[in-house]
Amino acid sequence: MAEFLTEADAREVCERVMSHSSADAAQVTLVSGLTRFARYARNEMTVSGDASDAEVTVASTFGQKRAAVTWNDLRDTAVEDAVSRSEELAQLAPDDPETMPPLGPQEYLPSAAFFDSTNELGDEDFVTAVRAVTERASSTDLIAGGFIQTRARSEALLNTAGLFAYHQSTLASHTTTVQTTDGTGSAWAGTTHNDWEQMLPPGELAERAINRARQSVNAVAVDVGAYTVVLEPTAVGNLITLLQAALVARAADEGRSFFSRNGDGNRVGEQVIDERLSVLSDPTDPDLLARPFAADGTPLRHTTWIENGVLQNLEYDRYWASRQGREPLLHGGGIKLTGGEGTVDDLVSTVDRGLLVTRFWYVRPVDHRRLTYTGLTRDGMFLIEDGRIVLPVSNMWFKESIISILNNVESIGSAVRVVASESGGLGVPVVVPPVVVRDFHFTVGSDAIQRSELGDVLGRERESSEVL
């Protein structure tokens, strides 16, 4: 019983939940659908699975008291209990002066994010995709592991002010890591989209990772310090999501953010990054395709956060907007860093001496206020000389401010959609270009991946002709 609720079914459930409410104001949200996955490692499928769920959240408000309860049992008795629990919790809560009345009915932009190609994948399709990678890897004496995840879901929202919102979507991702049997080489590739057909085909994904894995063997250490780097789109995506999280008016206005203006207020109107770069969100953008409303029903539209390097907008939730006399403006609708022209290879060809970075790992904050982060490179770094990749390089730590990175841009390639999350699973739509950045600081070397083999514990049980 896959539980993907249609608009009519979702409305019925939301109304049934709401019928139990006696709060001054309430909001019901409902997320339903089927999530599927397949994992593989050491050139074999390890497990696949699916999970069907429908989860409801009711937020009850009495005056300025509010609380939320989330549950997934839609039977009447469970619904009644959960609504009652949320009201009980709300009435126990102290007044929250930031409580806002529910939003009235809204108009939403259409976002056609549901694709049958993703929804109708069968068990055999997953196995076929996995084998397209593992068989290529094993035939070339390499080891592949990876993860495919898909979901089809609907999201609905109903509140006591008469607002009803509904959106349905699919989403898929496929990531793979290919390693050499001696453990000295490793590379990663990933692809994601709402539409399975618009993703890189599994064989092509495999080829990318295989080629880079071969190139990455026997990496050498280079001196730490400042380098010109070519950041592949995934590496840029790892960083840009952190920038988006900082684009918040309240933190800026309260003096807690990079976007705080010294003395008072925020930096809207100031040049903050390179003038060739713009940052925007748009749930209807065919590259992004996201839910067109925020968690409280606020419509999401095309929003330019940074235009030609100038900070244009910061997020205002409904409370902060009302306090500052502004219209609410919320994150959502993905994130896009506008690009230029050219592929990663094109950018590499412009660099006399530098490093090519595939992606980052364990990116962690050092200084929130300066948007400074530290982290490591992972699964493929290469020395560039005279416009060509000449040598694989050991991973290194970096420490950089995202603002500095986006101010030190030399050139910009074409934007593409990337798997930006470290987990390699489904996430916020992120579209970013590869970039060339000067003075990117690497602080310490790391010999990770060059240290160990994966071992022969499993191999002892196999035919000698089989490749791990």
Partner 1 sequence: MSRTRREFIKQSTLSAVALGAVGSDWLPKFGYTPQGTMQGAAFKDLCLVALNAARSKRATYADVRIVNKRDQFVAAQEERVSELQDRETFGVGVRALVNGAWGFAASRTVTREECSRIALRAVEQAEVNSEAIRRPVQLARVTAYPDGRWMTPVRRDPFTVRMSDKTELLLEANRVAAAVSAARFVTSSMYFVKVETTFASTDGSIIEQTLYRSYPSMTVTAVATDSSDVASHTSTDIAPMGLGYEHVEAADLPGRATEWAELAVEMLSATAVEPGRYDLIIDPTNLFHTIHETIGRPTELDRALGYEANYAGTSFLAPPETAIGEVRYGPEFMNVIGDRTQRGGLATVGWDDEGVTADSWPIIQDGTFVDYQTTREQATLIAELTGVSRSHGCSFGESWDVAQLQRMPNVSLLPAENDLVLDDLVAATDRGILIKGRGPYSIDQQRYNFQFGAHVCYEVRGGRITRMLKDTAYQGNTLEFWNSLDMLGGARSYQLCGTIGDAKGQPTQLNAASHGCPAARFHDFRVVNTAV
Rounded-to-10 torsion of CA 90, 249, 318, 87: -10
Angstrom distance (rounded) from CA 16 to CA 80:
10
CB of 327 or CB of 447, closer to partner 1: 447
CB of 46 or CB of 112, closer to partner 1: 46
CB of 35 or CB of 343, closer to partner 1: 35
CB of 40 or CB of 316, closer to partner 1: 40
**Within 13 Å and on the Cβ side, how many CA atoms surround 23?**
34
Q: How far is the CB of 134 from partner 1 (least distance, A)?
A: 7
Please name the amino acid found at residue 375.
G
CB of 70 or CB of 271, closer to partner 1: 70
Angstrom distances, CA of residue 37 to CA of 101, 130, 175: 40, 11, 12
Angstrom distance (rounded) from CA 300 to CA 108:
8
Angstrom distances, CA of residue 342 to CA of 73, 358, 382, 384: 51, 16, 19, 17
3-class SS letters over 274-299:
CCCCCEEECCCCCCCCCCCECCCCCE
Q: How far is the CB of 172 from partner 1 (least distance, A)?
A: 13
CB atoms within 10 A of CB 451: 9
CB of 19 or CB of 72, closer to partner 1: 72
Collect all residues with Cβ–Cβ distance below 8 Å to 156 and sequence separation of at least 6: 5, 7, 10, 11, 13, 14, 29, 30, 164, 165, 166, 167
User: What are the CB-based long-range contacts (under 8 Å, 24+) for 365-372?
Assistant: 366/399, 367/401, 368/246, 368/256, 368/257, 368/258, 369/256, 369/257, 369/258, 369/260, 370/258, 370/401, 370/403, 371/242, 371/243, 371/246, 371/258, 371/401, 371/402, 371/403, 372/399, 372/400, 372/401, 372/402
Angstrom distance (rounded) from CA 221 to CA 447:
8
Q: How far is the CB of 108 from partner 1 (least distance, A)?
A: 26
Angstrom distance (rounded) from CA 332 to CA 108:
13
Q: How far is the CB of 266 from partner 1 (least distance, A)?
A: 13
Angstrom distance (rounded) from CA 419 to CA 173:
7
Q: How far is the CB of 366 from partner 1 (least distance, A)?
A: 5
CB of 37 or CB of 227, closer to partner 1: 37
Q: How far is the CB of 384 from partner 1 (least distance, A)?
A: 22
Contact 161, 103 (CB under 8 A): yes
CB of 71 or CB of 164, closer to partner 1: 71
Q: How far is the CB of 284 from partner 1 (least distance, A)?
A: 28
Q: How far is the CB of 393 from partner 1 (least distance, A)?
A: 14
- The secondary structure element, H or E, covering residue 235 is helix 233-246
CB of 8 or CB of 92, closer to partner 1: 92
Q: How far is the CB of 136 from partner 1 (least distance, A)?
A: 13
CB of 108 or CB of 397, closer to partner 1: 397
Q: How far is the CB of 225 from partner 1 (least distance, A)?
A: 13
